[in-house]
Amino acid sequence: MKTQIYIHSSSCISAQHTFANPAWHDNVLKPENNIYKCVEPDYTNIIDSAFIRRMNRLQKFGLSTAISSLQRVNKAIDAVIFATGRGCIDSTCKFLERMFNREGLPVNPAVFIQSTHNTIAAQTAIYLKSKAYNTTITDNQLPFELALDNALICLHDNDFENILLGACDEITPQLLDILDRISKFGKPEIYGEGGACFILSTDSTDSIAEIKYFNSVPADEAAATVGILSAEYAVDYIFTAGKRKYAEDIPHIRYTDYFGNFPTSAACGFWLAVDCLNSRNPAISRAGNILLVAENRQGAAFVTAVGK
């Protein structure tokens, strides 16, 4: 459906130098051993040190991108919505290890507290002292798209004007080992991790991009939807995670080439789209409208149009 929701700011931590760095594309990094690990900023420059001590790595991804995306905007936030595919895998594994190795005494609760999916959005709320609507969406394949859907549903409501939408996932040595074994049953991929955060608003003033269309369609109708949208808007690129192209005559960018594959990679893809609309990326010439298409293995697709 057509939407008129505006993006006021965006921030990304990824395997590229994307954090607070408009010139990230001057030095595009390649994966090492099929893995795209994040280039992490110095968190002490971003987050209050008293908080850093109590945070796991994924919380740092989430909160840093949240703080960074709020720097550009001076708006009261009416909702904090985060997406994650696998949640805090590192804390979860640590707690499991200690649970099975311990003798007698209960383990330290810190890693248990940090293992829950909502700990990222919760830490963000505590840090921002935000008592607003707060939720965490999870899904194996399209958590970011479902969280974006949740955000857009909220923005239908007069109670909501500005929403902080974030997404992140991490990889750990154990997770890589397990994914490698699972992938023996499917195609091997470049694994990645990272996160991004956006401020969405119903207000157009000073926005950096607009979400012009967002809808969920059956995957076999995605190409037809792309056809209709490309007739309506001058579409410069189609962004996807996978290889499938949805239109022969429109250049196709696979954002996983930059960030690797992970459940919330689409958040980094969405960030890349917003970046392309606003910067001079030599690899991708400045664009007017970009379509993002994501589909899951159950035959559902999300189609998003972003433009200036």
Partner 1 sequence: MRVFVADVGIISATGAGVENNLCRLLDMQHGLNGKSSYLDADTDYYVGRVALSNEELRDMFGIKTKLSRTSLLSLHAVNECLKNFHPNCRMGFISGTTTGGMDKSESFCNQYLTDPKNARISDVVYHTCGSATASIASYLPKLNYISTISTACSSATNAIILGAQKIKYGQLDAVIAGGSDSLCRFTLDGFRSLLILDNDRCKPLDLNRAGLNLGEGAGYLLLVSEDFAVKHGISPLCELKSYANVNDAFHATALSDEGDGPYLAMKQTLAKANLSTEKVDYINLHGTGTVNNDLAESAAILKLFGETYPPLSSTKAYTGHTLGASGGIEAVFSVLAIKEQKVFPNLNFTTPMDSGIIPVLKPKTQKVKYVLSNSFGFGGNCSSLLFADIQIITN
138 makes contact with partner 1 (CB under 8 A): yes
Residues 213-242 that bind partner 1 (CB under 8 A): 216
Q: Which one of the spans 18-26, 27-35, 138-146, 225-233 is the region binding partner 1 (CB under 8 A)?
A: 138-146
Three-class DSSP category at 238: strand
Q: Closer CB to partner 1, residue 30 or residue 131? A: 131
Report yes or no: 65 and 168 within 8 Å, Cβ to Cβ: yes
Three-class DSSP category at 83: strand
Three-class DSSP category at 41: coil
- φ, ψ for residue 84, nearest 5 deg: -150, 145
One of 2, 34, 48, 126 touching partner 1 (CB under 8 A): 126
One of 181, 186, 231, 248 touching partner 1 (CB under 8 A): 181
264 makes contact with partner 1 (CB under 8 A): no
Q: Closer CB to partner 1, residue 185 or residue 231? A: 185
Q: Closer CB to partner 1, residue 97 or residue 206? A: 97
Report yes or no: 170 and 90 within 8 Å, Cβ to Cβ: yes
Q: Which one of the spans 34-42, 67-75, 155-163, 270-278 is the region binding partner 1 (CB under 8 A)?
A: 155-163
Tokens 């840093």 belong to 64
**Where are the extended beta strands (E) located within 25-130?**
35-36, 79-84
Q: Which one of the spans 175-183, 206-214, 230-238, 277-285 is the region binding partner 1 (CB under 8 A)?
A: 175-183
Q: Which one of the spans 96-104, 190-198, 226-234, 242-250 is the region binding partner 1 (CB under 8 A)?
A: 96-104
Provide the token pair at 297.
């293995």
β-strand 194-201 against 2-13: which pairing, if any? antiparallel
Shortest spacing between CB 35 and partner 1, in angstroms? 19
Q: Which one of the spans 17-25, 67-75, 173-181, 202-210 is the region binding partner 1 (CB under 8 A)?
A: 173-181
* CA atoms lying within 13 Å on the CB side of residue 229: 31
Percentages (nearest 5) of helix, strand, coil residues in the chain: 35, 25, 40
Q: Closer CB to partner 1, residue 49 or residue 205? A: 49
One of 22, 23, 26, 54 touching partner 1 (CB under 8 A): 54
β-strand 289-295 against 237-240: which pairing, if any? parallel
Report yes or no: 117 and 91 within 8 Å, Cβ to Cβ: no
As a whole number of angstroms, the distance between CA 176 and CA 155 comes to: 37
154 makes contact with partner 1 (CB under 8 A): yes
Applying CB under 8 A, the residues found at the interface with partner 1 are 54, 80, 85-87, 93, 95-97, 99-101, 104, 106-109, 112-113, 115-119, 121-123, 125-126, 128-141, 143, 146, 149-150, 153-154, 156-157, 159, 174, 177-178, 181-182, 216, 298, 300
